[in-house]
Structures are given as C-alpha cells and as structure tokens.
C-alpha cells in the first residue's frame, strides 16, 4: 500500500471513497447502506457508528432532556439560603436536572458579587 493509498483510506474525501458500501449500526444492529450514516472524517471508519435514524433519535432525546424544566410555581429549596421559593425565583439552566440552578436569584447575585 502506497502512502497515497493509505491516506485515502484514512482520510477519504467523502462517502463515495469508502472501501465498503454497507455498515452495521451499533444501535439498531441493522446493516444499512453507507448513505444512511453520517460522514465523520475524524472517526476510525470515517462514518458514524450509529445510522442517521438512530443519531436523530439520540439527539432528539438529548435535547428534550436538556429543556425539561419544572413549572414556575414549583417550590424548590435553595441550597445557599435554604429558603423554599417558587421555581421562577431561580435562573434557568437547561443542563441542570430541573432546568434551573439549585440556588435562587438572590443567592446567585450574592455569588456573583463575591467574585
Ligand atoms: Zn441504527
Ligand atoms: Zn437562596
């Protein structure tokens, strides 16, 4: 194998250059055409291990999880002042479990001022 051939194998320009036409999806375990996978030049196979369908449902679930937020009137105890306040008194944080910070807006401003 020449260097050029090796580079082509490692860094194909696109799906049409792949040395195979079908791939097993690691999620749904179905063998699908490479066009059913995303092209990922950085991965070892140059295409995603999950098919497009599985990737889409994966991201959909992830996004849903991120934006799940408790309703405004839910009572939440602040970890700083230990007071129980409605959720609207907390800043939003989509990556937190309840979609809000675990300390209230008052304590948040205190934290920021301390910095
Ligand atoms: Zn799949
Ligand atoms: Zn507080």
Domain contains 57: no
Between the CA of 45 and the centroid of ligand 1 the distance, in Å, is 16
Domain contains 7: yes
Counting Cβ atoms within 10 Å, is residue 3 exposed (0-12), middle (13-18) or buried (19+)? exposed
Strands 22-24 and 75-77: unpaired
Bridge partners, residue 92, by sequence: 100
**Is 80 exceeded by the pLDDT of residue 9?**
no
Q: Are residues 47 and 84 in the same domain?
A: no
Rounded to two decimals, what is the model's pTM? 0.44
Q: Are residues 7 and 48 in the same domain?
A: yes
Number of domains in the chain: 2
Q: Are residues 8 and 42 in the same domain?
A: yes
Domain contains 24: yes
> CB atoms < 10 A from the CB of 49, how many?
17
Domain that holds residue 12: 3-52
More confident residue, 61 or 90: 90
Domain contains 60: no
Residue 74 backbone dihedrals phi, psi, to 5 degrees:
-70, 135
**Is 60 exceeded by the pLDDT of residue 80?**
yes
Protein residues near ligand 2, an ion, with CB under 5 A: 78, 80-81, 104, 107
Give how far Cα 74 sits from Cα of 18, 22, 52, 95, 100, Å.
53, 50, 38, 18, 11
24-51 average pLDDT score: 88
Q: Are residues 44 and 79 in the same domain?
A: no
| Of the ranges 3-7, 47-51, 97-101, 102-106, the best mean pLDDT one | 102-106
Confidence of residue 47 (pLDDT cuts 50, 70, 90): confident
Domain contains 105: yes
Give the distance, in angstroms, between the CA of residue 40 and the centroid of all CA atoms in the same chain.
16
Confidence of residue 2 (pLDDT cuts 50, 70, 90): low
- Report the C-alpha gap between 84 and 74 in whole angstroms: 10
- Report the C-alpha gap between 59 and 37 in whole angstroms: 15
Domain contains 59: no
Of the listed ligands, the closest to the CA of 33 is 1
Domain contains 99: yes
Mean pLDDT of the chain: 82
Domain contains 37: yes
pLDDT of residue 10: 53
């Amino acid at each position: 194998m020449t260097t050029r051939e090796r580079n082509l194998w490692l860094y194909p320009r696109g799906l049409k250059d792949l040395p195979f036409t079908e791939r097993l999806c690691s999620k749904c375990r179905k063998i699908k055409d490479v066009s059913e996978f995303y092209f990922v030049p950085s991965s070892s196979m140059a295409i995603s291990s999950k098919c497009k369908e599985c990737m889409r449902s994966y991201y959909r679930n992830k996004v849903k999880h991120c934006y799940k937020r408790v309703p405004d009137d839910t009572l939440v105890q602040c970890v700083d002042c230990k007071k129980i306040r409605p959720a609207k008194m907390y800043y939003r944080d989509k990556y937190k479990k309840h979609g809000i910070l675990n300390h209230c807006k008052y304590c948040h401003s205190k934290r920021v001022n301390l910095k």
